[in-house]
Structure 1
Amino acid sequence: MGHEIQYLLETKRLVWLVALVFAVLMVLQYFEFPYGDVVSSLFSASKAQIVNVNGSYQLEASTQRPQIFEDITHSYALNASYDSNPTLEENVDGAFSPMAAVVLAPTKSPDIELPNTVNATLTDSTIVLEHETSKPDASKLFQDFKESQEKTIHSDDKASANEAHSMRDVVTISDMHDMLAQNRASSRSMKPRWSSLADQELLDAKLQIENAPINENDPALNPSLYVNISRFKRSYELMEKTLKVYIYNEGEKPIFHQPTAVLKGIYASEGWFMKHMKESQHFVTKNPKEAHLFYIPFSSRMLEVKLYVPDSHSHKNLEEYMKNFLDLIIGKYKFWNRTDGSDHFFVACHDWAPAITEKYMNSCIRAMCNSDIKKEGFELGKDVALPETLISSAKNPLRQFGGLPVSQRSNLAFFAGRMHGNLRQILLQHWQNKDPDMKIFGKLPKSKHNNVYIEYMKSSKYCICAKGYEVNSPRVVEAIFYECVPVIISDNFVPPFFEVLNWESFAVFVKEKDIPNLKNILLSISDSKYLVMQKRVKQVQQHFLWHVKPVKYDIFHMILHSIWYNKVFRINPR
């Protein structure tokens, strides 16, 4: 009996001891767990946030909601440091996959306390994130992620990574107009270190353009084709009356001063412009003190032909070559230093032009065919979207010009070309041999003067202008040349002469993601609207034609006008 009493007393003591220990733990854990009570925190720890393969969060036993920043989903409970070498893998819809999110695993030094971080573990296709004790600054988190990502993308990987981004972040034509207006209002070139008469003439021109009287009665110009016909006409008139361009004599052929090397093929715009500019007695001045603009007459195509090392995957030596030229003219003249080059310009059609000139020549007005507003740093209001033109005959750039009447255009849509980039493969996957109205092909068999390809363009209502490796394509100008309504499938592409032309009045813009619905989009355009657009294509042709001798409103004058126009609206007087 005594043993039983003693056993009960010891058991009672043990129960009290356990209860006391549990109470102490409860008090301690109150300050350790993020939810204020032990029970909910314990359950929350066992049911952590789960990130699925599709990139979305499953929130269990938590009231927190995810926040979205540019299609990247972050939870408020994230405050992680990022791995220095993230893997950029994406879903078909452009959202980051968990393989990209593996960068959420923080690094921790034994000597440094890192509070409020997230421990991440990867199991198969799922990342389990343990909770943290405070809510981070989500906007700073996203900014840190972008900065980390940009630093870790090497040059060889940049193209593929940026191509993936473009599928998510599409800048529409309407967005571009808004961006241009904002840039016009806020952006100015560097204030000149000393004043000149040319600056005052540009200021006077700007005032006259901004206050241009309504003028819509020119039979050569359809007002519907322009953003503001009155401003365009006044600006063009002032360019003809005022503009003076100084051309540097320095630089060695054939990279400099040899336009005849690039009068044919897809880079012909830079060759033909150089030819007409150097021959111009109207715009060119020998006196740099009276110049409004300074032309750097190099060919980006010849730069690549002469200097690029095959299979090197690097154009650093091309950049250095241009830097050496700049050092030469900066040391010899004072004109670059007056404005840090903001009154200098070049015309370049090679895909590499943005990258080659980004480091040392970005302050220039850059007229480039590769006018990607997201990937290549193309700046609306400063840079100029250069038309990419495929010229087959240097003696007759207008050979095979024109197209068939609307009544003889039996094909709804046409495309043919090499499989440059992923987009064209997607186009063919959805439409090649799928519909008799959609003439969608890969590379066509060779024919004399490319006649088969040209006949398709001349006999189709809509010509598909699908991007290749970069956003630009000669098909845009080809479609206009052959009087076919261009259908531009190239996200973030700034079309030529964007400052003055109303592209949506004569062209169709289709987002890359909408390729599966391409035929329905085209069929939704009424016959009457198509007829109006096709007529406008014929009217806008004059702005996209190279002539052996330049004529008013042709492509040479339009390129020069865009350069002039951007300079006028960026003038920053001393």
Structure 2
Amino acid sequence: MRFGSLSCPNSNVGASRCHREKTCGRRNQGLRKLKPQSYPIISSYNRHSKLHGKEKVSVNKMLQTKLVRFLMARDEWKRFGGKDHLIVAHHPNSMLYARKKLGSAMFVLADFGRYPVEIANLGKDIIAPYKHVVRTIPIGESAQFDHRPILMHFQGAIYRKDGGAIRQELYYLLKDEKDVHFTFGTYRGNGIRKAAQGMASSKFCLNIAGDTPSSNRLFDAIASRCVPVIISDDIELPFEDVPVDQIVGTIEK
């Protein structure tokens, strides 16, 4: 993601302190009034979630605990109880240990799938898109809709828990259908290249709920000029001014 002249990796845990302008404390005016290049961003890459050796507390948890202590001790946080702060926690596992204590701040998230409503909700938080991992196809290179040989495409993890169980049901329902590509796949090896080729050759691309309501697959479909079909009851889409119903198909699970 980019905020002004600053950038944060998509899966980072981040916190931004707003303390240079009076408008920052007025939450209802939102990001439109901010000058993001004026605000420092604290971020840490989530690579330390597992215990090593004789550790009883992961480095990841320790860092988040330190972040909470640091923020809550600041006069800037105390002034409005954190309500004028922006926390970039886009990855579903970001801020896992700190989110409850920092819930008064505004979060930038991928969705609300792993957050209780009192911590994250549309009333105060921002949904931001995933970064697509497949190459964006220029319009001049894109096959016309009627000339795409595959009717429907899905490639990814099929057996998921909780809300993602619908993937397994659809797999057995569609796997033998003509002109349907529905198969297991990962992003390892040449998985991204295969997914990109499949989406670029497909009319419709399925975006099915997994462990979380959303994924980068939706934005991969858009980059591939494949019509997205969303099958996820709890998904929240970014850019509320975009008429999603005109460009995306949605099906209730």
Matched length = 224
Give the corresponding residue for 2:81: 340
Give the corresponding residue for 1:297: 42
Give the corresponding residue for 1:413: 152
Asked if residue 243 in structure 1 is aligned to residue 67 in structure 2, the reply is no
Identity %: 22
Q: Which amino acid aligns with 1:198?
A: K
Give the corresponding residue for 2:103: 362
What secondary structure is seen at the aligned counterpart in 2 of 1:359? coil
User: How far apart are the structure 2 equivalents of 1:315 and 1:493?
Assistant: 33
Q: Which amino acid aligns with 1:425?
A: Q
Of the three residues 194, 197, 211, the one matched with 1:469 is: 211
With structure 1 as the length reference, what TM-score do the two structures score? 0.35
In the superposition, relative to structure 1, how do residues 426 and 297 fare at CA in structure 2: closer, same or farther (>3 Å)? farther
User: How far apart are the structure 2 equivalents of 1:412 and 1:243?
Assistant: 44
Conservation of the 8 A alpha-carbon contact between 1:371 and 1:472: no
Give the corresponding residue for 1:450: 192
User: How far apart are the structure 2 equivalents of 1:364 and 1:295?
Assistant: 15
Give the corresponding residue for 1:53: none
In the superposition, relative to structure 1, how do residues 202 and 360 fare at CA in structure 2: closer, same or farther (>3 Å)? closer
User: How far apart are the structure 2 equivalents of 1:476 and 1:400?
Assistant: 13
> Tell me, which stretches of 5 or more residues in structure 1 are unaligned?
1-194, 207-234, 246-283, 286-293, 393-398, 513-574
User: How far apart are the structure 1 equivalents of 2:82 and 2:156?
Assistant: 39
Conservation of the 8 A alpha-carbon contact between 1:487 and 1:508: yes
In the superposition, relative to structure 1, how do residues 468 and 375 fare at CA in structure 2: closer, same or farther (>3 Å)? farther
Give the corresponding residue for 2:172: 429
User: How far apart are the structure 1 equivalents of 2:146 and 2:95?
Assistant: 42
Asked if residue 484 in structure 1 is aligned to residue 226 in structure 2, the reply is yes
Asked if residue 510 in structure 1 is aligned to residue 251 in structure 2, the reply is yes
Distance apart, 1:408 and its partner CA: 1.6
In the superposition, relative to structure 1, how do residues 490 and 345 fare at CA in structure 2: closer, same or farther (>3 Å)? same
Give the corresponding residue for 1:290: none
> Tell me, which stretches of 5 or more residues in structure 2 are unaligned?
1-18
Conservation of the 8 A alpha-carbon contact between 2:150 and 2:203: yes
In the superposition, relative to structure 1, how do residues 432 and 315 fare at CA in structure 2: closer, same or farther (>3 Å)? farther
In the superposition, relative to structure 1, how do residues 201 and 490 fare at CA in structure 2: closer, same or farther (>3 Å)? closer
Conservation of the 8 A alpha-carbon contact between 1:388 and 1:477: yes
Give the corresponding residue for 2:130: 388
Which structure has greater strand proportion? 2
Q: Deviations over 1:362-415 (max 9, x none)?
A: 1111111243388665301311112122437xxxxxx45343222322322111
User: How far apart are the structure 2 equivalents of 1:351 and 1:482?
Assistant: 24
Q: Which amino acid aligns with 2:173?
A: H
User: How far apart are the structure 2 equivalents of 1:342 and 1:315?
Assistant: 29
What secondary structure is seen at the aligned counterpart in 2 of 1:441? strand
User: How far apart are the structure 1 equivalents of 2:71 and 2:25?
Assistant: 25
Matches within 5 A, 1:46-125: none
Give the corresponding residue for 2:70: 328
Distance apart, 1:323 and its partner CA: 3.1
User: How far apart are the structure 1 equivalents of 2:232 and 2:212?
Assistant: 9
User: How far apart are the structure 1 equivalents of 2:22 and 2:150?
Assistant: 52
Conservation of the 8 A alpha-carbon contact between 1:298 and 1:346: no
Q: Which amino acid aligns with 2:184?
A: G
Distance apart, 1:479 and its partner CA: 0.7
**Larger radius of gyration, structure 1 or 2?**
1
Q: Deviations over 1:307-355 (max 9, x none)?
A: 4338xxx998745532322322443x41111111111112223222364
With structure 2 as the length reference, what TM-score do the two structures score? 0.73
What secondary structure is seen at the aligned counterpart in 1 of 2:48? helix
Give the corresponding residue for 1:401: 137
Conservation of the 8 A alpha-carbon contact between 1:316 and 1:356: no
Distance apart, 1:490 and its partner CA: 1.4
Which structure has greater helix proportion? 1
Q: Deviations over 1:67-123 (max 9, x none)?
A: xxxxxxxxxxxxxxxxxxxxxxxxxxxxxxxxxxxxxxxxxxxxxxxxxxxxxxxxx
Conservation of the 8 A alpha-carbon contact between 1:315 and 1:356: no
Give the corresponding residue for 2:11: none
User: How far apart are the structure 2 equivalents of 1:503 and 1:428?
Assistant: 26
User: How far apart are the structure 1 equivalents of 2:186 and 2:58?
Assistant: 36
Q: Which amino acid aligns with 2:212?
A: E
